């Protein structure tokens, strides 16, 4: 049976998961693929820590380039992360004619054009299934299963840390900071949790999905990104009372020649399938013109789920190499729509909104606000005012929550600025999107 050699760069959580999985499932892979996949080398700056998979010490090296240049390595698996050393080694591997598997969403979102260009130039495969959705093979769905569809929209819960935090805030009534600490302890958060909670990680994943769905390189600078760092427990509670859960959603939508790509904390009705995705789980709902709604659900992070998708990619490349190196894929993303589609500016996006305003509790305040909203064409669908008289936090201001009909973001912002200037609020209003 033909043998295909794998070299891994990065022996951290996912690297150890991939190495362990390749060793454990070697036989079943050979049976399924008709080719034997062998782990040849593993590089990391730390080759002393025991990763608990019983790897032969002779396979370990601190020299990543030795792995890239090893003639017995056909597939280089990059699991270092970031855009520093990882980029250098991925480009070196592609230039050396090696197929590459990476789970590095930041690298592809920020430097995709360069990386995919190098794969194309060298005529080698680059697979990145685990860059979005961990154990959910959503990339493969877009490249293969739904390839016959025009994609109308993708709504995704793509960051396990944020989903875990939001679930804790809602189910246990804990504040944001406490929920974040619990998420970090569970090991799901990025090394820098700002990437998770400020929405950057979800944005990287949204960019990759949007590029695949719509065939052009989505510029990071054109993506509207809001995180959950400033989300108040009060809004989680009010949303729940109104029949909604707050989820950090990636929204990717096409309307004619315009594409919207954004990341926002969003109110999702309890009856919506994405509302039931809790804790560290991820999900993506893809609407194709032929398929209609389809839903993909699973563990979006963690050692073994992510390893599962990486190993799936390795298996596919092994099959390609077996078929005399003729890849069944484009080398990266298809960019047939480059220059044809453009990004919709965030202020032009229309949505329903949840607004919470801390309103001066005196006659006419409500009238001031509704008049201003009306003047900006923002129509109110529902409104509630919570009684706070006599409560410890009663400062003469009451929380008023309004749900709007669909309105342009810019119109809502203009109305809220005017309401602030009318001196009927004691703090900046909260504005959240609704699905």
Select which of 205, 247, 253, 431 is catalytic: 205
Strand bridging mode 281-288 / 292-299: antiparallel
Query: Of the candidates 327, 340, 344, which has an alpha carbon nearest to the alpha carbon of residue 116?
Result: 327
Among 134, 199, 227, 298, binds ligand HSE (CB under 6 A): 134
Q: Minimum distance from CB of 305 to ligand HSE (Å)?
A: 9
Q: Which long-range CB contacts under 8 A does 258-261 form with residues at least 24 apart?
A: 258/341, 258/342, 258/343, 258/344, 259/210, 259/214, 259/216, 259/218, 259/341, 259/342, 259/343, 259/344, 260/343, 260/344, 260/349, 261/206, 261/207, 261/210, 261/218, 261/222, 261/223, 261/224, 261/343
Q: Kindly indicate which of the ranges 79-87, 158-166, 308-316, 353-361 contains the residues binding ligand HSE, using the contact rule CB under 6 A.
A: 158-166
CB closer to ligand HSE out of 63 and 192: 192
Subset of 188-207 contacting ligand HSE (CB under 6 A): 188-190, 196, 201
CB closer to ligand HSE out of 156 and 288: 156
What binding mask, one character per residue, do residues 235-254 give for ligand HSE by CB under 6 A, x or -?
A: --------------------
Query: Of the candidates 344, 356, 378, 354, which has an alpha carbon nearest to the alpha carbon of residue 434?
Result: 354
Q: Tell me the site size for ligand HSE, rule CB under 6 A.
A: 11
Among 102, 122, 159, 320, binds ligand HSE (CB under 6 A): 159
Residue 180, judged by CB atoms within 10 A of its CB (0-12, 13-18, 19+), counts as: buried
**∠ at Cα 208 (96, 33), nearest 5°?**
55
Subset of 163-192 contacting ligand HSE (CB under 6 A): 188-190
State the Cα–Cα distance between residues 203 and 16, nearest whole angstrom: 26
Q: Minimum distance from CB of 42 to ligand HSE (Å)?
A: 21
Q: Minimum distance from CB of 190 to ligand HSE (Å)?
A: 4
Subset of 214-233 contacting ligand HSE (CB under 6 A): none
- In the annotation, is 431 catalytic? no
Task: Decide if residue 301 touches ligand HSE (CB under 6 A).
Answer: yes
Residue numbers at the binding site for ligand HSE (CB under 6 A): 134, 159-161, 188-190, 196, 201, 300-301
Q: Would you name the residues annotated as active-site residues?
A: 205
């Amino acid at each position: 049976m033909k043998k295909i050699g794998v070299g891994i760069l990065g022996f951290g959580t996912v690297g150890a998961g991939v190495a362990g999985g390749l060793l454990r499932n070697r036989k079943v892979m050979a049976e399924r693929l008709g080719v034997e996949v062998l782990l040849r080398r593993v590089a990391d700056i730390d080759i002393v820590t025991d990763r608990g998979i019983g790897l032969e010490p002779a396979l370990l090296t601190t020299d990543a380039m030795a792995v890239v240049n090893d003639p017995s390595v056909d597939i280089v698996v990059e699991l270092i992360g970031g855009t520093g050393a990882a980029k250098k080694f991925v480009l070196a591997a592609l230039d050396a004619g090696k197929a590459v598997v990476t789970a590095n969403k930041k690298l592809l979102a920020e430097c995709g054009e360069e990386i995919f260009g190098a794969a194309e130039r060298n005529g080698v495969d680059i697979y990145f299934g685990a860059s979005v959705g961990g154990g959910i093979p959503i990339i493969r769905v877009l490249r293969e299963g739904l390839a016959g569809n025009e994609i109308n929209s993708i709504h995704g819960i793509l960051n396990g840390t944020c989903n875990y935090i939001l679930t804790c805030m809602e189910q246990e009534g804990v504040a944001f900071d406490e929920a974040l600490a619990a998420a970090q302890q569970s090991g799901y958060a990025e090394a820098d949790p700002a990437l998770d909670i400020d929405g950057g990680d979800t944005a990287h994943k949204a960019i990759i999905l949007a590029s695949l769905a719509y065939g052009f390189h989505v510029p990071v600078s054109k993506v509207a990104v809001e995180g959950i760092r400033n989300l108040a427990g009060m809004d989680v509670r009010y949303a729940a009372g109104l029949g909604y859960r707050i989820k950090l959603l990636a929204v990717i939508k096409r309307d004619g020649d315009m594409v919207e790509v954004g990341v926002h904390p969003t109110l999702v009705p309890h009856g919506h399938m994405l509302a039931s995705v809790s804790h560290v789980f991820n999900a993506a709902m893809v609407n194709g013109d032929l398929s209609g709604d389809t839903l993909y659900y699973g563990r979006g992070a963690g050692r073994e789920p992510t390893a599962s998708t990486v190993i799936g990619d390795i298996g596919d490349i092994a099959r390609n190499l077996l078929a005399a190196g003729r890849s069944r894929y484009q080398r990266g993303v298809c960019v047939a729509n480059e220059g044809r589609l453009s990004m919709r500016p965030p202020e032009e996006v229309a949505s329903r909104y949840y607004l919470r305003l801390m309103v001066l509790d005196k006659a006419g305040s409500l009238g001031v606000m509704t008049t201003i909203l009306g003047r900006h064409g923002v129509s109110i669908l529902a409104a509630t005012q919570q009684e706070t008289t006599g409560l410890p936090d009663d400062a003469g201001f009451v929380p008023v929550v309004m749900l709007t009909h669909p309105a342009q973001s810019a119109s809502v912002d203009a109305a809220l600025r005017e309401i602030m200037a009318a001196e009927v609020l004691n703090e900046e209003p909260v504005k959240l999107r609704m699905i």
